[in-house]
């Protein structure tokens, strides 16, 4: 009788980490100018989930106060058209309320919110920035800077974000650099946040291009969600 041996049991290495799993992927909009912005947590969220928020305001160089308990990944600005983009994350806790961003500049806002299944991401350091690329008003195509990340052979989920502002009628995304779980907050306001995702194993973050129907201000963070 033959026997199947699991090589991991005998020290041949650990099994590869699984990919972080998305629970929800939603957009939030604020159609009137204000200095505060509330992002609604998705229905059915639970403690232990990772939540990542990308929020965009149609005002340049604003200083936003992050909600208490949220960790900043980065802040990006584009001067013309005016745009400021903030990226924050938190491992949700029981009793958490909808986070409120308060800034020094008044503007219309859009946010993209993603939650991840508990146990599928690295709790101590779940979100890292892979690369960024920027383009002002010169065209409707934005190429993502691939960049290199030290992920070795781990499986990670890449999140490409497109923050944009400056078009009064809105500008829709017509092509995404990553194919899966695409989302866009555009409904005719001059700022929007879009995102797409893909799973990769180690090495270099892949490049690609966003294509948008109208020229406007852009900023494109590339985030990596690390596996457990």
What is residue 18's predicted lDDT score, i.e. its pLDDT? 87
**Rounded CA separation 46/43 (Å):** 9
* Phi-psi label, residue 26: left if phi above 0, alpha if psi -120 to 50, beta otherwise: beta
Number of H helices, E strands in the chain: 0, 14
How many Å apart are CA 228 and CA 224, to the nearest integer? 13
Provide the whole-model pTM. 0.88
Beta bridge partners of residue 114, listed in sequence order: 25, 52
Sheet holding 155-165, edge to edge: 127-135, 217-225, 155-165, 191-201, 180-184
What is the SS3 assignment for 133? Answer: strand
Count of residues making up the chain? 228
Tell me what pLDDT residue 11 has.
Answer: 38
pLDDT greater than 80 at residue 64: no
- The region of weakest confidence among 20-34, 83-97, 120-134, 205-219 is 205-219
Cα 184 from Cα 91, distance rounded (Å)? 24
Res 14: pLDDT: 52
Least confident of 9-13, 72-76, 116-120, 222-226: 9-13
pLDDT tens per residue, range 122-179:
999 999 988 887 777 777 888 887 666 666 567 899 999 999 887 666 788 999 999 8
């Amino acid at each position: 009788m033959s026997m199947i041996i699991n090589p991991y049991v005998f020290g041949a290495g650990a099994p590869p980490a699984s990919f972080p799993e998305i629970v929800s992927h939603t957009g939030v909009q604020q159609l009137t100018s204000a200095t505060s912005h509330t992002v609604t947590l998705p229905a059915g969220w639970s403690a232990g989930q990772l939540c990542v928020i990308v929020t965009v305001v149609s005002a340049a160089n604003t200083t936003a106060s992050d909600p208490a308990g949220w960790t900043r990944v980065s802040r990006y600005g584009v001067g013309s058209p005016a745009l400021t983009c903030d990226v924050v994350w938190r491992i949700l806790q029981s009793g958490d309320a909808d986070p409120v961003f308060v800034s020094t500049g008044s503007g219309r806002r859009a946010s993209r919110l993603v939650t991840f299944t508990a146990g599928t991401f690295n709790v101590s350091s779940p979100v890292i920035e892979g690369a960024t690329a920027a383009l002002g008003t010169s065209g409707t195509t934005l190429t993502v800077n691939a960049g290199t990340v030290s992920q070795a052979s781990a499986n990670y989920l890449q999140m490409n974000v497109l923050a944009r502002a400056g078009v009064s009628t809105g500008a829709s995304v017509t092509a995404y650099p990553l194919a899966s779980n695409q989302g866009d907050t555009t409904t005719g306001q001059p700022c929007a946040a879009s995102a797409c995702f893909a799973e990769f194993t180690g090495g270099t973050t892949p490049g690609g291009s966003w294509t948008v129907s109208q020229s406007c201000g852009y900023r494109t963070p590339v985030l990596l969600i690390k596996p457990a």
